[in-house]
């Protein structure tokens, strides 16, 4: 505790604002537990920058922790780009303090002689990714905590290609940040270097979104969409994109259309949670809509609900949406003629069905660690290859490469194109999805997410993963474990034959068991939340669409048994 107290006392110097000093003094005198949680460590970069609870302290998001990161990034940019003007672009979402923190970040960059383009108001994350390349910037920042609770905020860093920072830049930037003291932050702005931007970039982004997501589907006039922005940023882009693509019947959930960092109408503004879309689904049932789309606060994830076989609205998961979107894009490419350099991509914890589909179309399949920065890196690393589309199980998808991060704006349009065309053809989104199961194998996934907060929670997560690794599972649902993939050591071992393979992707704290029947169990800690996640994937053959319900129920029962076996139920 002495070290924590010493760290806290460093925030009592005149460098820090009077209100900050007052709060630290109060915590020292009255609340040792809270003081400990706020100062026991420094806020760290995760899978996409920094994300955490806002407040005073080294383990909180505030002007000092973000200022220090920005100072480190500024130092790195000034070292790497010695000639000519260095430029960055900054966007922010609907969260509390996002606008003021964005302004602080802009001021620090400008104080370090870096030109800043700052959006005038909230914008989507995909627009920020697009803006980096459009404005020929060296880096980009978006102030967001994605779908986290209201008390969170964060900071995602993008590089010259419009993708999030990856090795070696991330390590070098972190080293710069860690070498600094808070007193090294230059807060005094050079206003001449800060330029406010809006309509020109908006127009270019919306135009590109329509161009990449619109395939002139039939049946748009009578295709009914219910859209909710869940109090987030997508209200600035998606209604206009849908309108320009020819969709006239779009009902917006007005109660959720106003940006609001409290997210008052939902428990969590995360489209992965069915409850988040409940208001939109209810409206869709009332008006007989064909599709519901809802996006998270920074508009990089989308949730979709469509009519199932019984005519009721049902939310499709990220894996299902990804499969159908990718198939649609591949069909369009195939109709024009493959050039032989196309590839699709997903992550190691997403559905293996993507690989089966790639084989069927004869295109290359690439897999990456969780986090869209790794898919963005593929595009950069293989300039001779053409990225068609790809996504991850956590409701993120990217259409083409004009944006280098998951993009709910263009993906929303793509989903509507697929469903509208299916309806015009006498089919529907859900029915087309079932046909994919017949064609490529029926894969069904399930996610278990366990939250453990604070210092003790971090230790519990560490222990759970240690136990999972040190006490290997020998069989799952009656099928022997064949492969154990340890991404920490970059090795995959066939425990039945002793064969070992090198995993040729960066190291990560992920462990995957695969059984003889293709069942996969993956475990990983979240890079941005105090959670440990277990991903279960099962599969079987579906001989014909008519047997879908029966086979689906069998896979559900299998997943239930697996959860009980692993004590995750």
Residues assigned a catalytic role: 146
Residue found by looking up tokens 């996969």 in the block = 520
Rounded distance between C-alpha atoms, residue 429 and residue 435, angstroms: 10
Residue found by looking up tokens 């309509």 in the block = 199
Phi and psi torsions of 445, nearest 5°:
-115, 160
The gap from C-alpha 471 to its chain's centroid, in whole angstroms, comes to 31
Inter-helix orientation angle 429-440/318-336, to 10°:
80
Beta-carbon count within 10 A of 436 CB: 21
Note whether 70 and 177 are within 8 A (CB). Answer: no
Nearest to 447 by CA among 527, 392, 492: 392
Across the beta sheet with 396-399, the strand order is: 364-368, 342-347, 386-392, 396-399
Residue found by looking up tokens 């135009």 in the block = 207
* Pure H helices in 237-317: 238-244, 278-287
Note whether 465 and 532 are within 8 A (CB). Answer: yes
Rounded distance between C-alpha atoms, residue 98 and residue 160, angstroms: 23
Rounded distance between C-alpha atoms, residue 128 and residue 137, angstroms: 11
Which residues touch 381 (CB under 8 Å, ≥6 apart)? none
Q: Is the peptide bond before 505 cis (omega within 30 degrees of 0)?
A: no
């Amino acid at each position: 505790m002495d070290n924590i107290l010493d760290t806290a006392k460093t925030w009592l110097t005149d460098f820090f604002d009077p209100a900050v000093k007052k709060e630290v003094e109060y915590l020292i005198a009255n609340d040792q537990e809270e003081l400990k949680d706020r100062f026991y460590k420094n806020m760290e970069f995760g899978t996409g920058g920094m994300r955490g609870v806002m407040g005073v302290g080294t383990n909180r998001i505030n002007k000092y922790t973000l200022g220090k990161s920005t100072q480190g990034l500024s130092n790195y940019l000034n070292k790497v780009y010695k000639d000519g003007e260095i430029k960055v672009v900054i966007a922010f979402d609907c969260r509390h303090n996002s606008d003021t923190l964005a302004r602080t970040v802009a001021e620090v960059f400008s104080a370090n002689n870096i030109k800043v383009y700052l959006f005038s108001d909230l914008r989507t994350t995909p627009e920020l990714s697009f803006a980096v390349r459009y404005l020929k910037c060296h880096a980009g920042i978006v102030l967001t905590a994605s779908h986290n609770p209201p008390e969170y905020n964060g900071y995602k860093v993008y590089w010259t290609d419009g993708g999030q920072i990856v090795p070696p830049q991330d390590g070098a930037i972190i080293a710069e940040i860690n070498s600094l003291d808070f007193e090294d932050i230059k807060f005094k702005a050079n206003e001449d270097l800060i330029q406010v931007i809006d309509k020109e970039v908006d127009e270019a982004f919306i135009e590109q979104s329509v161009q990449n997501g619109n395939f002139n589907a039939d049946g748009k006039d009578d295709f009914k969409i219910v859209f909710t922005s869940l109090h987030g940023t997508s209200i600035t882009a998606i209604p206009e994109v849908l309108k320009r693509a020819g969709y006239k019947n779009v009902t917006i959930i007005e109660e959720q259309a106003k940006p609001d960092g409290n997210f008052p109408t939902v428990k969590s503004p995360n489209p992965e949670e069915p409850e988040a879309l409940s208001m939109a689904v209810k409206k869709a049932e009332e008006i007989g809509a064909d599709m519901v789309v809802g996006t998270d606060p920074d508009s990089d994830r989308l949730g979709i609900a469509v009519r199932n076989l019984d005519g009721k609205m049902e939310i499709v998961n990220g894996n299902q949406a990804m499969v159908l979107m990718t198939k649609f894009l591949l069909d369009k490419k195939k109709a024009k003629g493959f050039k032989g350099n196309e590839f699709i991509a997903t992550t190691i914890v997403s559905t293996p069905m993507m690989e089966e589909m790639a084989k069927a179309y004869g295109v290359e399949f690439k897999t990456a660690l969780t986090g869209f920065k790794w898919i963005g890196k593929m595009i950069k690393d293989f300039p001779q290859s053409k990225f068609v589309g790809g996504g991850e199980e956590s409701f993120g998808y990217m259409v083409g490469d004009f944006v280098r991060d998951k993009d709910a704006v263009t993906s929303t349009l793509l989903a509507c194109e697929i469903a509208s065309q299916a309806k015009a053809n006498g089919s529907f989104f859900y029915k087309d999805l079932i046909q994919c199961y017949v064609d490529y194998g029926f894969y069904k996934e399930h996610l278990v997410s366990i939250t453990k907060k604070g210092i003790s929670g971090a230790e519990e997560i560490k222990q759970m993963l240690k136990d999972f690794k040190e006490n290997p599972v020998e069989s799952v649902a009656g099928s022997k474990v064949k492969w154990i993939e340890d991404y920490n050591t970059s090795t995959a071992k066939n425990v039945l034959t002793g064969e070992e393979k090198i995993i040729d992707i960066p190291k990560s704290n992920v462990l995957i068991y695969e059984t003889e029947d293709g069942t996969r169990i993956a475990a990983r800690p979240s890079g941005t939340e105090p959670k440990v996640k277990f991903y279960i994937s099962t599969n079987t053959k579906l001989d014909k669409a008519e047997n879908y319900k029966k086979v689906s129920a069998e896979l559900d029962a299998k997943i239930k048994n697996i959860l009980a076996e692993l004590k995750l139920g």
